[in-house]
Structure 1
């Protein structure tokens, strides 16, 4: 079936998401590994992505791990530094699709507050036709509910959706539901896929 709409993940497709890199620069790789092994930062972040309050979650984690409190606070205070920079060519591809009249949707794991921060820093995140953000929905990829909501409200049949994401588990769930998928492993391959699908001309995908 021809692609009727393109569904974008955001982290590591449109903007880089790499908290490990931030903490490597702050603490050094060995100390960062110790932090991540002793403090459930990523598990806390999953709960924020489900809609739990961002600031309160970071504060509670810091209180539970006072020896790391200053570093844990960075997850809140320096969050945008972990979610940067933009992947410029991916942004150009998003805008080229919109210029062609192809509907573009966002399907991404983000907290409510963190998505507001990201939108203020990256205005292109406001340019989607529809946005499905986990913190507003109360479910995260690859849980079925967030995919179901998109299917029931976007106006496009699952077989007409082309979903790009950097995580294999998220891709597998979409594929199991009949979506067309692209595992993002670099912007060159994503650009080539959009050209191959006839959604963009090669010149537009540069």
Structure 2
């Protein structure tokens, strides 16, 4: 089946997302390990991605864990430093696809507030033909409902979608629905896949 649209995850596909790296630099690996062992910040972030208020969710967690309150608030106050830098060749690939007339969608676990913040820093996050952001949708990957919502809204057949995501569970669910998939482990192979599929040309990527 010919590919009619390309779907990008955002974290670790278009923007690096590594909270542990940020915290290691800020508070040291030992303190970071203690924090993450005590407070499941990724689970807290899942609530944000499901549509809960960004600041309120993080600050309530900080209040409930006073021994780590300063560190936890960093998840909100300096979030953009965790969601950086952009992955340049992936961004170039997104823009090359659009230049070639290929519809480009986002399907990403992202909070309402955190996505708005990211858009204020990364202009390419406003360039999708259709952005499917979990916070606005009220459901996160790999729940099959979010994939169904994209299919229904876009009107694109599952087997005409090519989806790149860094997480194996998200890719597995997409594949189970009949999507074409690419398990992202770096921009080089992703660009090669898009070239092989005839969606972009190698010379479009600097």
Question: TM-score, normalised on structure 2?
Answer: 0.98
CA shift at 1:201, angstroms?
Answer: 1.5
Q: Give the Cα–Cα distance (whole angstroms) in 2 for the partners of residues 50 and 128 of structure 1.
A: 21
Q: Which residue of 2 aligns with 1:112?
A: 112
Q: Which residue of 2 aligns with 1:126?
A: 126
Q: Give the Cα–Cα distance (whole angstroms) in 2 for the partners of residues 155 and 195 of structure 1.
A: 25
CA shift at 1:26, angstroms?
Answer: 0.7
1:46-101 Cα offsets, whole Å, 9 max, x none, are 00000011111111111111010000110110000000000111100000000000
Q: Which residue of 2 aligns with 1:158?
A: 158
Alignment length (residue pairs): 206
CA shift at 1:34, angstroms?
Answer: 0.7
8 Å Cα contact 1:105/1:128 also seen in 2: yes
CA shift at 1:155, angstroms?
Answer: 2.3
Superposed structure 1 runs of 4+ greater than 3 Å apart:
none
Q: Give the Cα–Cα distance (whole angstroms) in 2 for the partners of residues 54 and 6 of structure 1.
A: 28
| Alignment of 1:170 onto 2:164 | no
- Structure 2 SS opposite 1:68: helix
Q: Which residue of 1 aligns with 2:82?
A: 82
Q: Which residue of 2 aligns with 1:67?
A: 67
Q: Which residue of 1 aligns with 2:186?
A: 186
CA shift at 1:22, angstroms?
Answer: 0.5
Q: Give the Cα–Cα distance (whole angstroms) in 2 for the partners of residues 3 and 205 of structure 1.
A: 20
| Alignment of 1:95 onto 2:121 | no
User: Which consecutive residues of structure 1, in runs of 5 or more, have no partner in the other structure?
Assistant: none
User: Which consecutive residues of structure 2, in runs of 5 or more, have no partner in the other structure?
Assistant: none
CA shift at 1:205, angstroms?
Answer: 3.6
CA shift at 1:40, angstroms?
Answer: 1.7
8 Å Cα contact 1:195/1:205 also seen in 2: no
